[in-house]
Structure 1
Amino acid sequence: MIEITRLRYRYPTGTTTALAVQHWSIGPGEFVVLAGQSGSGKSTLLRSLVGLVPHFYGGWFGGQVTVGGRDTRRFRPSALADLVGYIGQEPETQVLLDRVRDEVAFALENLGFPAGTIAARVEEALDLLGIAHLRDRPIETLSGGERQRVTLAAALALRPRVLVLDEPTSQLDPWTADSLVEVLRRLVDDGGITVILAEHRLDRLLASATRLTILERGTLVHDGTPHEAVAHLPEPPLLVQLSQLLGWKPPVLSVAEAKRRLADWSFAAAERPLESSSGEPVVMLEQVTCRLGHRQVLDDVSVAFASGQVTVIVGRNGAGKTTLLRVALGLQPIERGQVRLLNRPLRRHLEPEIRRAVAYVPQFPAALLLGARIAADLTEVQRLRGASPADVQSVVEVFDLAQLLEHHPADLSSGERQRAALAVALVGEPRLILLDEPTRGLGYQHKERLAAELRRRAAAGATIVVTTHDVDFAALVADRVVLLADGRVVADGPPERVLGETFAYAPLVSRIFGPAFRSVADVAQAVSAARLQPQHGGASSLP
């Protein structure tokens, strides 16, 4: 189905080779997961499968890529559209029309399908992705995760023989992400479709994949079954980390398998130290109602965010998380209620001193990267906030940007742009930090760095509010979790209660060991304290 031979590629402005793949072959009906750190070449490799490399991006291209017998040097992306469905890292940039139904039908109409076939295919794709209720919604009223599912539906409506997906779960809530993986597995098993998918969050994918391919600096370094290749991952997923900690060989690749391995063991969590109390409220929403078009997005919401605390907001796609952040900053008008920011009634235009005290990273991080170089963006924010060169150097180190400072933002991978946007926003010591899906495109190590940095800033008195679908990150960083549903606050409390005791939002470690365990570090602490004992008199195989 796919054959790559002696592929070498360099972007037009690149000084180094982005891809150097000697040979890679994928047969029909395979489910292939691409893994590797940010900037390793995953997205570039996927783009080469649909002809975007080299036809759209330009640059220097050598070797051959054939998909279904078609040489991508001779067949442009439009000539591959009936064969390959593609969703990029930023699906919001792939939406062309104003209404969901029209967007899903657009490619079918361009290829000349009969009206009856188009209508049936559109309904089938909407049902597969669980978004039939959105069919008549304007695109502009959708959340990021809803837009991601619309672009997936548009690709599936073509019934491609090959489906190429770049981080397709990055903006999906946990329940929807699990459902998507199940849909992909059915397409592979029942429909014989070939799926090639790049992801950083691997735990929900490895049990479904037939192959795991690992890239490093544009080169394939390992390619085999997940059980064979998983030990070579530069950033092991949580299940592999747990397997290494507990001495499980081969490593487990699903929660169900981990729970079976634990059947004869009982864990007692170490006592968690009491968190320091939060300070005064910095942001207050009182009985706020907000509409987007005819849809009520926030419904009588009252919530406050205090200094010295990390609050994480979770909820399914379209629950109102992004709107809540925008309302808190005056970026979204409200229908009724009151918003107070830094002890003042919120005005339509923020005073300069308030703007300097606020850091905001939206879902589309490129909005913060306006200069020709990352270094220029950092320098400009340093000037506006009156920060020091040491402040800039600090965020460069935290977000691992030293090698990227002279790059144009457009030349970075999605994860690299996310890190750059976070660094730009956090220059200096803003008092209020609002982050909308900040872990998009980040690997495990960079997520841990971000969590540690946010914890440090909260300890220094900052007010931090994060929206995320990454419940494992939420478990690492949160003092408090707010659960939104249909624009209302339905739960508000410590992570162990709001996350650990809910089926849909429980972190992976909590699903295996119970709500008292939020991270691999919690399990490691229990093991090192010799709190693990056999229930049936068996001998421990733990280190």
Structure 2
Amino acid sequence: MLAIPAIRASRLSVRFLTRRVAALRDVDLTVYPGERVLVAGASGSGKSTLGLSVTGLIPTSVDADIEGWIEVAGTPTVEYAPGALARRVGIVFQDPSSQFTMLTVGDEVAFGLENIGVDPSAMPERVAASLAAVGLSDRADWRIDRLSGGQQQRVALAATLAMRPNTLVLDEPTAHLDPRSGTELYTHLQSVATDTGTALLLVEHDTDKVVPSLAERCLLLGSDGRVELDRSARNLFGDVSCARHWSDAGLQLPAAAAIYLAIDAEDADISLEGSAAATWMARNPAAQRRLRTARCGDAKRAPGDVVLDARALWRRFSTPAGDHQALKGVDLVAREGELVAVVGRNGSGKTTLLRALSGLIRLDRGEVRLEGQRTVDLGLDATARLIAHVFQNPESGFVAATVRDEIAHGPQAMRWNQAARDKFVTEALKRFGLEAVAAANPYTLSGGQKRRLSVAAALAYRPRVLLLDEPTFGQDRQSAEALLNEVATLREAGAAVIAATHDSRVIAEEADRVVALVDGAVAFEGSPGDFYADEELLAITGQEVPALRRILVGAQALGADVPIDGRWRIPLAMSALADDWRTG
């Protein structure tokens, strides 16, 4: 006898009342206990909407028109009593701060247990176990608003895991986590699913994090909210036509699959294991030759003049556990045309550093100079125009009621004439893929759309320095590349870019320099190649070697003549390689 599905949807369509077009259309989906399903699609394709529908938050808490039906554990979600569905389905939102209720970490984790009637005597053990699982055992008494974005995401995960739901909906649960913490979390989730039969519905843009280790099955949503593919991960990425369909949808392929598909798609037995890809590469001289010619190269632009110069920055915060020194004598220089990647574990001081550079927080000691002039002398208004800051949570910077007006706000503030203003807005909407949501409220956008909007609005000021806090978070591959292309254009015009990021592709492929923070102090400054070659440094900063680099290092160790360092942008470099292969 088959088990009752954990989730079952039939011809499910969802349209938000503020939108004319449906977010989901005719979705059929069955997920059994213990299944681990990756839900993928371009930004705005309905991934988060599907998750909210599974939890019953649509339509009980989020106004939307629904057609078809969806049930959890054999019962339609609309028939559950208020709060009852929370016993069966846990969710971690894309923006974890949106689901917090209590002030401190421990109280937040205990709050859900109280609501589902857990015996008070059992609660301390469950709270402690959940915090230990996400690496926050020493933060139980901390105020949540004093935590970094990554630490807040861990709190949300701990609160959900403590309730021990039968089904977990995870909307990019590691987006704010450093890579090593993300790997540890996914390893833990795999154990939970295996040991308890918990079903996982997972949204994740970085397929290398979850395929094939965690996600056994992949569901691809098209831009119109319809299911385009629903297959096992190995079957999907091992099939040439399906893998191409995935890539053509603007999504990232696992690095191993991308290499096979681009170099020898018709003949290779596609494997998702990096070691197998490295072995195949070492045995295939033709593939090595094509790879060498397709590399983007090592050429670096000559550094321009210093735009921003920060010296001896110190900042301390008070916490329940005592004073916390967030910045410890940080020095940072950014030059014209440079992209400086700031990396480090959650809570290492990355976001605090960006806020100090933009003048949003007062320094205890130290100074920031913009083209030789102290920012404290420039004043907040002038500094804000010259140093644009895109926040970790884009909503923090929104000021208008529509996407169009949000982009127009900067030009209006700078008194552009109507024609120039309209031209800028129209072009920005097109470049950032926001034309279809121009009339929408910014707060109703998907996470990826919100981030693109915040960058589009910031570029209106033509800043000398652009500060980006997790710029690719929530972005599909195509959208991330488009955003980075816009950033590259700004760099070519002479602006300096400083990006706090956990995205190894941004660090390895886009950055000119890497500044690594450990406990608020600079532990490393140098090239991406030197950074990734230092295993001890990677460990203390919570970073991991990018999947493509691991394959290339492995192939080189087996005797392959392949480059390791340099700019690789999968699938851009892989697409060029495929063209070269087909025409060469």
- Same fold at TM > 0.5: yes
Contact 1:314 1:483 (8 Å CA) reproduced: yes
Partner of 1:106: 111
Equivalent in 307, 321, 325 of residue 336 of structure 2: 307
Cα shift readout 1:424-449 (whole Å, capped 9, x = no counterpart): 11125211111111111111111112
- Match status 1:338 vs 2:367: yes
Partner of 1:86: 91
Q: Which one-letter code corresponds to 2:433 in the other structure?
A: D
Partner of 2:220: 214
Contact 1:283 1:339 (8 Å CA) reproduced: yes
Q: CA deviation at 1:159?
A: 0.9
Partner of 1:537: none
Counterpart-to-counterpart distance in 1, 2:546 and 2:575: 16
From the superposition, tell whether residues 135 and 374 of structure 1 become closer, same or farther in structure 2 (CA, over 3 Å).
same
Residues 384-463 of structure 1 aligned to structure 2 (within 5 Å): 384-386=413-415, 388-389=420-421, 390-463=423-496
Contact 1:9 1:60 (8 Å CA) reproduced: yes
Equivalent in 133, 141, 155 of residue 136 of structure 1: 141
Report the 3-state secondary structure (helix = DSSP H, G, I; strand = E; otherwise coil) of the residue aligned with 2:187.
Answer: helix
Partner of 1:242: 259
Contact 1:368 1:424 (8 Å CA) reproduced: no
Partner of 1:511: 550
Partner of 1:487: 520
Partner of 1:355: 384
Q: Which one-letter code corresponds to 1:488 in the other structure?
A: A
Structure 2 residue runs of 5 or longer lacking an equivalent are 1-5, 238-242, 554-563
Cα shift readout 1:17-52 (whole Å, capped 9, x = no counterpart): 222235211111000110011111111111111101
From the superposition, tell whether residues 420 and 152 of structure 1 become closer, same or farther in structure 2 (CA, over 3 Å).
same
- Match status 1:499 vs 2:528: no
- Match status 1:175 vs 2:180: yes
Residue identity over aligned pairs, in percent, reads: 33
From the superposition, tell whether residues 69 and 412 of structure 1 become closer, same or farther in structure 2 (CA, over 3 Å).
same
Q: Which one-letter code corresponds to 2:70 in the other structure?
A: V
Contact 2:205 2:252 (8 Å CA) reproduced: no
Partner of 2:195: 190
Counterpart-to-counterpart distance in 2, 1:77 and 1:542: 61
Residues 136-175 of structure 1 aligned to structure 2 (within 5 Å): 136-175=141-180
Counterpart-to-counterpart distance in 2, 1:525 and 1:59: 43
- Match status 1:296 vs 2:325: yes
Cα shift readout 1:299-324 (whole Å, capped 9, x = no counterpart): 11112122221111111111110000
Q: Give the TM-score taking structure 1 as reference length.
A: 0.92
Contact 2:104 2:141 (8 Å CA) reproduced: yes
Q: Give the TM-score taking structure 2 as reference length.
A: 0.86
Residues 310-329 of structure 1 aligned to structure 2 (within 5 Å): 310-329=339-358
Q: CA deviation at 1:80?
A: 0.8
- After TM superposition, the structure 1 stretch with the greater mean CA deviation from structure 2, 464-473 or 133-142, is 133-142
Q: CA deviation at 1:255?
A: 3.0
Counterpart-to-counterpart distance in 2, 1:274 and 1:480: 13
Report the 3-state secondary structure (helix = DSSP H, G, I; strand = E; otherwise coil) of the residue aligned with 2:468.
Answer: strand
Q: Which one-letter code corresponds to 1:195 in the other structure?
A: L
Partner of 1:369: 398
The structure 1 segments of at least 4 consecutive aligned residues displaced by more than 6 Å after TM superposition are: 523-530
- After TM superposition, the structure 1 stretch with the greater mean CA deviation from structure 2, 178-187 or 509-518, is 509-518
Q: CA deviation at 1:81?
A: 1.1
Q: CA deviation at 1:215?
A: 0.8
Contact 1:454 1:477 (8 Å CA) reproduced: no
Contact 1:310 1:454 (8 Å CA) reproduced: no
Q: Which one-letter code corresponds to 1:220 in the other structure?
A: V
- Match status 1:252 vs 2:271: yes
Contact 1:500 1:507 (8 Å CA) reproduced: no
Equivalent in 302, 322, 326 of residue 277 of structure 1: 302
From the superposition, tell whether residues 349 and 51 of structure 1 become closer, same or farther in structure 2 (CA, over 3 Å).
farther
Report the 3-state secondary structure (helix = DSSP H, G, I; strand = E; otherwise coil) of the residue aligned with 1:311.
Answer: strand
Q: CA deviation at 1:227?
A: 2.4
Partner of 2:502: 469
Counterpart-to-counterpart distance in 2, 1:62 and 1:133: 46
Q: CA deviation at 1:282?
A: 2.3
- Counting matched residue pairs gives 533
Q: CA deviation at 1:385?
A: 3.4
Contact 1:213 1:229 (8 Å CA) reproduced: no
From the superposition, tell whether residues 157 and 460 of structure 1 become closer, same or farther in structure 2 (CA, over 3 Å).
same
From the superposition, tell whether residues 351 and 368 of structure 1 become closer, same or farther in structure 2 (CA, over 3 Å).
closer
- After TM superposition, the structure 1 stretch with the greater mean CA deviation from structure 2, 90-99 or 151-160, is 90-99
From the superposition, tell whether residues 273 and 253 of structure 1 become closer, same or farther in structure 2 (CA, over 3 Å).
closer
Q: Which one-letter code corresponds to 2:119 in the other structure?
A: P
Contact 1:87 1:152 (8 Å CA) reproduced: yes
From the superposition, tell whether residues 501 and 263 of structure 1 become closer, same or farther in structure 2 (CA, over 3 Å).
farther
Cα shift readout 1:382-406 (whole Å, capped 9, x = no counterpart): 1223553444344323211222211
Cα shift readout 1:319-362 (whole Å, capped 9, x = no counterpart): 11000000111211222222223422232882543332221110
RMSD of the alignment, in Å? Answer: 2.4
Partner of 1:261: 280
Contact 1:87 1:151 (8 Å CA) reproduced: yes
Q: Which one-letter code corresponds to 2:253 in the other structure?
A: P
Equivalent in 11, 14, 35 of residue 16 of structure 2: 11
Report the 3-state secondary structure (helix = DSSP H, G, I; strand = E; otherwise coil) of the residue aligned with 1:86.
Answer: strand
Q: Which one-letter code corresponds to 1:215 in the other structure?
A: L
Counterpart-to-counterpart distance in 1, 2:225 and 2:269: 28
- Match status 1:23 vs 2:51: no
Cα shift readout 1:264-308 (whole Å, capped 9, x = no counterpart): 357585693432222232222212111121111111111212222
Counterpart-to-counterpart distance in 2, 1:97 and 1:489: 33
Q: Which one-letter code corresponds to 1:75 in the other structure?
A: Y
From the superposition, tell whether residues 410 and 338 of structure 1 become closer, same or farther in structure 2 (CA, over 3 Å).
closer
Cα shift readout 1:443-492 (whole Å, capped 9, x = no counterpart): 11111122222222212110111111111122232111111111111111
Counterpart-to-counterpart distance in 2, 1:279 and 1:236: 33
From the superposition, tell whether residues 271 and 409 of structure 1 become closer, same or farther in structure 2 (CA, over 3 Å).
closer
